[in-house]
Amino acid sequence: MHPRAIREQGYVTLNGIPQWLTITGQDCRNPVLLFLHGGPGNPLSPYADAVYGAWAKDFTLVQWDQRGAGRTYGRNLPVRELEADEFERTPLNLALMAADGIAAVEYLQQRLGQRQVILTGSSWGSALGVEMVSLRPGLFHAYVGLSQMVGHRSLDASYAAMLQRAQDLGDQPSLAVLKTIGPPPWQNPRHFGQMRRILRGYEAQRSEPAPAWRPAAEYAGAPDRAADEAGEDFSFLKFVGLNGDGMLWQLKLDEQRTRLAVPIFLLQGAEDLLTPPAATQAYFDRLEAPRKQLVMVPKAGHDPNGPMLAAQQRLLLNDVLPLTRKRAAP
């Protein structure tokens, strides 16, 4: 083992509550890469070694179970369905989670002695990532977004694309569901899930399969499984809202976050039906940044698969890593 290798995990108090962080790398002097998981209740920490382990040669990898997800949920909230009054008085919103994320970066600065980190986020994590770099650009070398979530208006394009696909395929059961739920915004939180299930099936027809997302043995026990399930349900309901009033419907990055002071790199699956390429392209065209780049990834949908992960690693090594060396130079 390299004398400067690092492998730490545990709870760190961030923004007033204990939150789960893991830090892994072959040399702690390497640039720090902080992952922002999607969902918002789908932590990557149980799968990190299997999916991203080889990246530890070039980066110090940090996984964070966000407020309302995984082990952070299990440490702070009852591992069960919350009663209505408990749900209402437990906040979860973009501003709060961005403050959590900034606190995580500040902790990493102290722990690892590095002034800036690379931030990468997928789906929900991409919206959180844009918010974080907008609020505190000096903390970041660069931002890398996958399946960039722009705002609820992109769901209009998603719904229209799904409706067209169902019609083209003559998929009457899916067509019936889509016509029943109607276009967004939805008052019923189940409607988003119904569309998502159809969407995943359509994406699978044109994209390569995702890796086998099996949790590491350490995370496979009953307590972690229960916390993951409870956190996912809680976060999803906060995201969509019980009456069409969740975080999703307040997202307007295409109006409010178009001028960013860090290099921006977006990776977009060509077969993504949830955050469609046209919506990502429109946001990218409006973005003002010191440097920006959009990469379309063939045979990739919304969720990370082999082509998307390979494109992400190439971009980090070829485009982002040189930025960290340039900034570190005297």
Q: What is the pLDDT of residues 176-195, one digit of tens each?
A: 999 999 999 998 999 999 99
In this predicted structure, what is the pLDDT of residue 205?
95
What contacts 42, CB < 8 A, 6 or more positions away? 69, 232
Mean pLDDT of 161-175: 96
Tell me: the pLDDT tens digits for 47-71? 999 999 999 999 999 999 999 999 9
pLDDT reading at 329 higher than 50: no
Q: What is the dihedral of CA 297, 300, 304, 310, to 10 degrees?
A: -50
Select from 3.40.50.1820, 1.10.3720.10, 3.30.70.20, 3.40.50.450 the CATH code of 6-152+210-328.
3.40.50.1820
The residue written with tokens 């179970």 in the block is 65
For 160-191, letters b (16+ CB in 10 Å) and e give: ebbbebbeeeebeebbebbeebeebbbeebeb
CA distance 13 to 7: 19
Specify the amino acid at residue 291.
Answer: R
pLDDT on residue 1: 66
> How many beta carbons lie within 10 A of that of residue 270, not counting itself?
15
**pLDDT band of 327, cuts 50, 70, 90:** low
Q: Reduced to 3 DSSP states, what percent helix, strand and coil does the chain have, rounded to the nearest 5? A: 50, 15, 30
pLDDT at 196 over 70: yes
pLDDT in tens, 76-88: 999 999 999 999 9
For residue 280, is pLDDT > 50? Answer: yes
pLDDT at 211 over 90: no
Per this entry, what is the length of the chain?
A: 330
Instruction: Flag whether pLDDT at 290 surpasses 90.
Output: yes
Burial of 150 (C-beta count, 10 Å sphere; 0-12/13-18/19+): buried
Is 109:115 a contact under the CB 8 Å cutoff?
Answer: yes
Q: Which residue has the higher pLDDT, 243 or 223?
A: 223
Tell me how crowded residue 279 is: count the other CB atoms within 10 A of its CB: 24
The answer to whether residue 330 scores a pLDDT higher than 50 is no
Question: Which CA distances in Å does 119 have to 59, 95, 148?
Answer: 12, 17, 13
Residue identified by tokens 């002097």 is 29
Across the range 278-291, mean pLDDT stands at: 96
**190-215 average pLDDT score:** 93
Residue pair 264/236 in contact by the 8 Å Cβ criterion: no
Has residue 75 got a pLDDT over 80? yes
- The mean per-residue pLDDT over the stretch 298-315 comes to 97
Are the C-beta atoms of 315 and 267 separated by less than 8 Å? Answer: yes
Per-residue pLDDT for 115 more than 60? yes
Q: Could you give the CA distance from residue 236 to residue 41 in angstroms, rounded to a whole number? A: 7
Percent above pLDDT 90 for the chain: 92
pLDDT one-digit tens code per residue, 263-277: 999 999 999 999 999
Region of poorest pLDDT, from 1-5, 38-42, 143-147, 311-315: 1-5
Cα angle 115-323-100, degrees, rounded to a multiple of 5 = 40
Q: In this predicted structure, what is the pLDDT of residue 183?
A: 94
Q: What is the mean pLDDT of residues 125-148?
A: 98
Average pLDDT over residues 298-305: 96
| pLDDT reported for residue 14 | 98
Domain ranges (residues) in the chain: 6-152+210-328
How do 264-269 and 6-14 pair as beta strands?
A: unpaired
Distance CA 171, CA 174 (A): 6
Taking only Cα atoms into account, the Rg of the chain, rounded to an integer number of angstroms, comes to 19
What's the pLDDT band for 233 if we cut at 50, 70, 90? very high
Has residue 118 got a pLDDT over 50? yes
Q: What is the mean pLDDT of residues 98-116?
A: 97
Percentage, residues of the chain above pLDDT 70: 98
pLDDT greater than 90 at residue 2 = no
Mean pLDDT, the chain, whole residue set:
95
**326 pLDDT above the threshold of 70:** no
- Which of 80, 102, 86, 122 has its CA nearest to residue 14? 102
Single-letter amino acid code for the residue at 237: L
* The pair of three-digit structure tokens given for residue 10, joined into one six-digit string: 């545990």
**Residue range 255-260: average pLDDT?**
96
Residues 6+ apart with CB under 8 A from 7: 23, 24, 25
